[in-house]
Amino acid sequence: PLEQRTSCQRSLVSLHFNLLMLQNYVALNSTAVAKILKKFDKKYGTAIRPEYTRTVVELPFYRCHTLGHLVEESERLFRLLDSDVSSSSICQSLPIQPAGCLALPDTWQQQRRVQEAA
């Protein structure tokens, strides 16, 4: 049970970190596109930025609602694991269950292994 709880905690921390990185990436991309369009409009005397921004904001990639919910859910699950709740019941409630709680690759460790092997 302790090993399973630790495995779940590590997986959730990794998931949470990756979700936060994705949120930051989406925000950075949104800002970059807005700045590029502003410079384009200024240089060429056009006004495509408002229309393009309205269109892009409707795309799923730029919507952060689902991503925000996933971040909140990972935090909620971590708090549950940190409390006295049985880790097996939490693991069973997760959508992905192979090899412990979550079969999420730790990309940093994978990248390090690849670099060390090279």
Mean of pLDDT over the chain: 75
Judged against a pLDDT cut of 70, whether residue 103 lies above it is answered with no
What is the model's pLDDT at position 42? 96
- Residues 34-49 have pLDDT tens digits of 899 999 999 999 999 9
What is the Cα–Cα distance from 67 to 50, expressed in whole angstroms?
25
Tracing tokens 């999420």 back to the chain, one arrives at 104
